[in-house]
Amino acid sequence: MKKTLLNLVLILTLLLSINTHSQFSISNEKYNSGNCLISIDLNYSVNRAREYRIFMYNSNGAIIKVINLGRKTRGSYSAGMITISSSLEFKMKEKSFFGGFRTLYTKKVIHCQNDLDSDGLLNINDNCPNNFNPNQEDLDNDGIGNICDNDIDDDGISNDKDACPTKVGTSLGEGCPDSDGDGVYDNEDECLNEVGVASNNGCPKPDLKFRIVLVSSSCSDCSSNLENLGSKRHKVARNGGILNISPMVIENIGEGQSKPAQIKYFFSLNRTFESSDIPFNISTDISPINKGAVKSVSQTIFGNDFLDKGMPYGNIYVIGKIDSEGKIDELNENNNTFVIPIIFTENLSSTKENPKDIFLLGKSSYKLNIYDSNGNLKKSYFVKDKSHEKEIISQLNLKGLYILKTPNSTRKIILK
């Protein structure tokens, strides 16, 4: 009876051995440094869980590491990453029927490294084996991953010289294309999906226009609508009264969105804006306006906003102008100005003259512009006569050669 039982046990053990087939694989075994990803394929006819372990031996036959895989059924498994610095022998063992572990597979490995960058991809399948890139991004599908490709878009221009490294471009555009075909390359085009012009950075030109401007002041019978003001003038005094400009309705009648802009205000002797008109120290910001849209803004000019010097009393004009410095390229540069006729006095009830700084405009009054030797406007004043002009020049804090221009003369002067 005992002999029969023993024979049955031997037969069962033999059957289990026959039904088991395990493969222990480590590829790319001849690299010079030491990370190795271990994979195991278990394939046997009886799908029964068994317990597996991997034993690692050094050249002296001593066990230096044991990896416990636990109980596994048929399938493919990873035993994780190990580091190898010398020749090792691996033995994959299965727990036997009798409780011990029997060797299923033996493999000798010398310095294996099959995932250099530890991104979970074997070197043979990794498009950048030395750079961590688990997503394997490859824009130009050349088999070299973006992270290690010197020319990501494969346009013949290296990444370090390519202003658009992920877009196929040309050397004329510093590696960038002209996506919207407007003649402005993408690296300089602020409107990539709209046909524009180079002078407006690749965007369609806007055109800002004052649709309506309403003004109120101390003039009780003046129309608030400038278009209906007629021959009347609004009233502002240095020591009282305000000029309330509200609303200013601005419309964009151009072909594209406008950029941020400003309305600046100028003191002038006539209705025409000139670069020599004296600016107020105030401005009104305008945020971008879409094509066909409108925006309302407001501004108040107080009496003390008028400068003590260079802004005389009398019948003058306050001019409001959008983008007076010409930073925005518009379809029409001549429709973004409004003019307010003003009676400017010292007090609302009088026109008392202060001979030191302020004077009444008269028939002998004129504008004095002072330019440097390169033709740049430095100062601009309204003066009442030749004597007043000499007084202004004597008080200038300027040195060197300058050009003085009046309506009737142009002359050079050296200021010390």
pLDDT tier at 48 (50, 70, 90 boundaries)? confident
52 with 26: CB under 8 angstroms? Answer: no
Q: Where do the domains of the chain lie?
A: 19-110, 150-204, 208-358, 362-416
pLDDT tier at 201 (50, 70, 90 boundaries)? confident
pLDDT of 357 higher than 70: no
pLDDT of 410 higher than 70: yes
pLDDT tier at 19 (50, 70, 90 boundaries)? very low
Same fold for the domain at 19-110 and the one at 208-358? yes
Tell me the C-alpha distance between 290 and 349, whole Å: 45
* pLDDT, position 110: 62
pLDDT of 370 higher than 50: yes
pLDDT tier at 47 (50, 70, 90 boundaries)? low
* pLDDT, position 339: 94
Mean pLDDT of 316-326: 89
318 with 301: CB under 8 angstroms? Answer: yes
- Beta-carbon contacts of 177 under 8 Å, excluding residues fewer than 6 positions away, are 164, 167, 168, 169, 170, 185, 186
pLDDT tier at 337 (50, 70, 90 boundaries)? very high
pLDDT of 267 higher than 80: yes
* pLDDT, position 263: 94
pTM of this structure: 0.53
pLDDT tier at 239 (50, 70, 90 boundaries)? confident
pLDDT tier at 169 (50, 70, 90 boundaries)? confident
Which of 289, 252, 287, 284 is CA-nearest to residue 265? 284
pLDDT tier at 358 (50, 70, 90 boundaries)? very low
* pLDDT, position 295: 95
Tell me the C-alpha distance between 263 and 245, whole Å: 12
Architecture of domain 19-110: Sandwich (2.60)
Q: Which residue has the tokens 């051995």?
A: 17
pLDDT tier at 284 (50, 70, 90 boundaries)? very high
Which of 339, 384, 387, 342 is CA-nearest to residue 361? 384
Q: Which residue has the higher pLDDT, 211 or 59?
A: 211
pLDDT tier at 344 (50, 70, 90 boundaries)? confident
- Asked which of 213-222, 260-269, 289-298, 321-330 is least confident by mean pLDDT, the reply is 321-330
* pLDDT, position 117: 79
**What is the residue type of 379?**
K
Which of 201, 238, 237 is CA-nearest to residue 218? 237
Q: What percent of the chain has pLDDT over 70?
A: 84
How far is C-alpha 313 from the chain's CA centre?
48
pLDDT in tens, 125-158: 889 988 999 999 998 899 999 999 998 988 889 9
The CATH code belonging to domain 208-358 is 2.60.40.10
* pLDDT, position 300: 94
**What is the residue type of 170?**
T
Average pLDDT value for the chain: 80
Mean pLDDT of 228-236: 90
- Asked which of 3-7, 153-157, 396-400 is least confident by mean pLDDT, the reply is 3-7
Three state DSSP letters for the chain: CHHHHHHHHHHHHHHHHHCCCEEEECCCCCCCCCEEEEEEEECCCCCCCEEEEEEEECCCCCEEEEEEEEEECCEEEEEEEEECCCEEEEEEEEECCCCCEEEEEEEEEECCCCCCCCCCCCHHHCCCCCCCCCCCCCCCCCCCCHHHCCCCCCCCCCHHHCCCCCCCCEHHHCCECCCCCCCCCCCCCCCCCCCCEHHHCCECCCCEEEEEEEEECCCCCCCCEHHHCCCCCEEEECCECEEEEEEEEEEECCCCCCCCEEEEEEEECCCCCCCCCEEEEEEEEECCCCCCCEEEEEEEEEHHHCCCCCCCEEEEEEEEEECCCCCCCCCCCCCCEEEEEEEEECECCECCCECCCECECCCCCEEEEEEECCCCEEEEEEECCHHHHHHHHHCCCCCEEEEEEECCEEEEEEEC
* pLDDT, position 298: 95
pLDDT of 81 higher than 80: no
